[in-house]
Chain A
Amino acid sequence: EAGVAQSPRYKIIEKRQSVAFWCNPISGHATLYWYQQILGQGPKLLIQFQNNGVVDDSQLPKDRFSAERLKGVDSTLKIQPAKLEDSAVYLCASSPRTNNEQFFGPGTRLTVL
């Protein structure tokens, strides 16, 4: 069974530029999560989808971050414009249901200069 795929693995941008991350969850997993992990901290939930609907985006900085999950499968997370403090690893995870264990992708390491 294929795992959670993410791309790109690394991205370096200047502040005020835009960036997008892509995630393909495990087939059949209804729940998809985007997390931000700052160095030395635990993952912080940015947004959670159930199929193609948003369940929780309370910690998503909506003035600059946006995410979508079209057709309840793949998802993209966008930052526009990026700030220095957005430097982090962005993790995508999926699970069959919200109380199940989550399966994580390899993450995208973003550096904002």
Chain B
Amino acid sequence: AQKVTQAQTEISVVEKEDVTLDCVYETRDTTYYLFWYKQPPSGELVFLIRRNSFDEQNEISGRYSWNFQKSTSSFNFTITASQVVDSAVYFCALSEARDTGGFKTIFGAGTRLFVKA
């Protein structure tokens, strides 16, 4: 069964600190996709990254980096030198193939990040 767990409900850091948001997933499939989305106070979810299950290379994009480890079923997200504008709710999501074709996506419960100046 599909499942995404974001155990950290809220994290509070001071600006310029590094912070890691955890994501653990469960899937029966060998082919799946993992995503991170950001939901700022305005409410609109914004796509950050997509990873397929066959690509375990870590990725860095500016201050953002992602660590994908199939062995532990984790897809963690690190923000380096956090800024106040990073304050948002961050969602991890998993897309798994449907029996009837196509993919089904489920979202974790989200981690609310507060970055204080």
Could you tell me which A residues sit within 8 Å of B by CB distance?
A: 31, 33, 40-45, 48, 50, 55-56, 89, 91, 93, 98-107, 109
Contacts and interface: CB of A to CB of B under 8 A. Distances in A.
A105 B46 CA distance: 9
Contacts of B104: 45, 48, 56, 98
A103 B91 contact: no
Contacts of A104: 37, 44-46
A43 B102 contact: no
Contacts of A105: 44
A112 B103 CA distance: 32
Could you say which of B100, B102, B108 has the most chain A C-beta atoms within 10 Å of its C-beta?
A: B102
Contact of B95 (A43, A55, A99): A99
B100 A55 contact: yes
Contacts of A100: 50
Interface string B94-117: 010010101111111110000000
